[in-house]
Structure 1
């Protein structure tokens, strides 16, 4: 029996019918439509459907939030609409027709980093745990760490660096692989290119600053010398090198006869890409990346850091709506590479918590409204665990004022974060569990900021809701 058949029929009509659907797929919680004419979608009627938690448009896709039952809903919708399933990659390709150049660039960056995020989160948690056991002086009157007290924990600390180093020092390998995967070229060549950027033959990027210029190893070609410098944890050099490889491979594949393509294309593409990476693109990318992180770091730590923190914290949630928040991943990773941590990511986690707390306020205000709670409760929980879309689009933007209350709470919490120089080891879970990725020295300050991000939006939402007469109805 089709559980969602009637609602699927209604949704089909409200999005403008089958002829208005260029492509459709689903993810964990949402239906993703690419509509031929987005203006034909009747958003008001769609959001009135029982199982619809909200809608939004992002990256050229009209997305309908269903929740955990989205796969079952999608099956019924496909049957009713008579539409074959479309992969998410195909939907993204179709959606590009509805995007401008800037949106395509941002979307491209997001697609590069999305497959890497799970590993980066794991790496951040591992670094956080290692800092707790090897950097917090909790024993013998605050003079020793757990690692200094126990050989077992010393061994654990040493062993876990195997994973931490693989995630962060070897990050260019993942970036080069992800770029080639996204662009449809040979992924193994991308992996090899990434490995040449972090090879043990090179001077480790982290040692460059403490090594005299005369002591840096070089490739000596007689007429010229090139420094043998690694690009561990460097973002922009890896991206530039990877796209160079992609377009070289496409070029050689186009001009090379099929009979010798298997030999010429990979050889010429990889050799020239590695040369370009180490001779030109790497040094340029390093300077560009360092300049970007230096500007952001100056904003976070300089005389106007209070203004920077307040503005960033206040505006981060609107960035999520536009999709521009994906840009922060690259900046965070560059900050970690250059400064050993990021002060940007804690503010992002606080923004997520603040939006969840605004929903918590709506849970309290609408505590006797069973229909509203079906949306409110899961949205709040997912937001506190780092997934903000159900909260932002399903609840807060629906009423508007909770969204603004969350922004205010986030702005105040971010101000506390930058005033206390709160720093994270790495990108982590973007909600309450994010405290595990904070450097031990700053866990208390992050805890205080997190308390503000919970209390302020909750209280403001409850007050405004009552003034608007939004009770349990």
Structure 2
């Protein structure tokens, strides 16, 4: 973390043989080293006299260099990142269950697998146990993660989350089908002077997020004002009970309304008359979102869409953007495969992007040289437009890049495979074209290699 990023001599740093690239993200100036990073780190600390710091200290220092939006995005990332592995597992389970019970096979006389086999029917039934736990009880994970991020009592976060999805509450999925009179008569806490609805928040993201934050801030407040000798008794009680009351009276209903409004707006874009335009814009802009850190907000939107619509058409476009940027950097690797320094950066970045992690590709190659980045954005825009046009929907968040097809609902796997092909071919062709035509090659040093590349290309293909 630098006190002033402008004092860093980027060109001099990137001229060091061990350095593969540099970028600034979330308030941190980061240097890409590669597999030799332990050796480089030891040499750097020995020469500079600067000792390493803990991960928490680095994050704290980086926050001083962030603006408000970056701070919010960083907080969301730190809250949702620990939950993503569970969401990936849940998505794979839902996708597999859709194949078992939702697809009618001609080889089985038009029956589903569960209708034809008791064994697979049992497997399907069993898999609903973790599937239900992951999605319907998602608020428990969110409130726990909020407490973990805020440095407060994680067990209180878990208890609060359980209180949002308790069987004592009317299940969120049953609210729409339950008459208002029935809710008023049977699903309320009656305090004599007023009543509070006993409604659960299964799979709801924003209510859980707001409830978890209220619990953490209350605990932080009470720990500052209650003497330590009695804090063990009063702090948990005065934090949990008010947070629970706020969750069921104010924050929960407000969060529910915000969540439904957000998903309605996104769904309108994904299903409206100009959905192709929405897909093209989102596909083009997702990579810039990654650069700025704004992509972390899509986790909350995706999980809200899954809760409200039973799937998300947003996430497939994220996977396609990963593939497109990976394809662009692969084309760059092919053009520079005889340059050992460039190959050491671009080939691992390609593999990483194809597996859903695009930061090495973006910061190590594509953004640095511009034209691969533009090619990737263009291919992603076209693939996103086609994805939305064909209504491609994912059962859940999954592994990005090429493995993303595993999370796609079975009926949309074939059209998604077609969009994947577009996300592979178009960025590659455009990267070659932009380089040969000299378009978007604004980085000094790279443009000077254009004639050399053309001559090499002609020598190889004549």
Range class of TM-score, shorter chain: over 0.9
Query: What is the match of residue 178 of structure 1?
Result: 145
| Structure 2 portions without partners, runs of 5+ | 439-449, 458-462
Q: Secondary structure at the match of 1:226?
A: strand
Query: What is the match of residue 260 of structure 1?
Result: 230
1:86-135 C-alpha deviation (Å, 9 max, x unpaired): 22221111011111122111111111111111111121112111112221
CA distance in 1, matches of 2:374, 2:310: 33
Matches within 5 A, 1:414-429: 414-429=384-399
CA contact (8 A) 1:365 1:465 kept: no
Match for residue 224 of structure 1 among 191, 194, 207 = 194
1:224-264 C-alpha deviation (Å, 9 max, x unpaired): 22111111111110111111111111222222223321111
Query: What is the match of residue 60 of structure 1?
Result: 27
Q: Secondary structure at the match of 2:273?
A: coil
Match for residue 49 of structure 2 among 72, 75, 82 = 82
Change (3 A) 1:80 1:119: farther
Query: What is the match of residue 3 of structure 1?
Result: none
Shift of 1:141: 5.5
Query: What is the match of residue 9 of structure 1?
Result: none
**RMSD after superposition:** 1.5
How many residue pairs get aligned? The number is: 440
Matches within 5 A, 1:22-41: 34-41=1-8
Shift of 1:209: 1.3
| Structure 1 portions without partners, runs of 5+ | 1-33
Matches within 5 A, 1:68-467: 68-140=35-107, 143-216=110-183, 217-467=187-437
CA distance in 2, matches of 1:67, 1:167: 35
Shift of 1:220: 1.5
CA distance in 2, matches of 1:69, 1:231: 48
1:156-207 C-alpha deviation (Å, 9 max, x unpaired): 1112222212221111111111111111111111110011011111111111
Shift of 1:272: 0.8
Q: TM-score of the superposition, structure 1-length normalised? A: 0.90
CA contact (8 A) 1:139 1:145 kept: no
CA contact (8 A) 2:108 2:116 kept: no
1:51-86 C-alpha deviation (Å, 9 max, x unpaired): 322211111111112224434433333333333332
CA contact (8 A) 2:20 2:341 kept: no
Shift of 1:139: 4.4
Shift of 1:376: 1.5
1:320-349 C-alpha deviation (Å, 9 max, x unpaired): 111111111111111111101111111111
Q: TM-score of the superposition, structure 2-length normalised? A: 0.92
1:262-284 C-alpha deviation (Å, 9 max, x unpaired): 11110111011111101111111
Q: Secondary structure at the match of 1:35?
A: coil
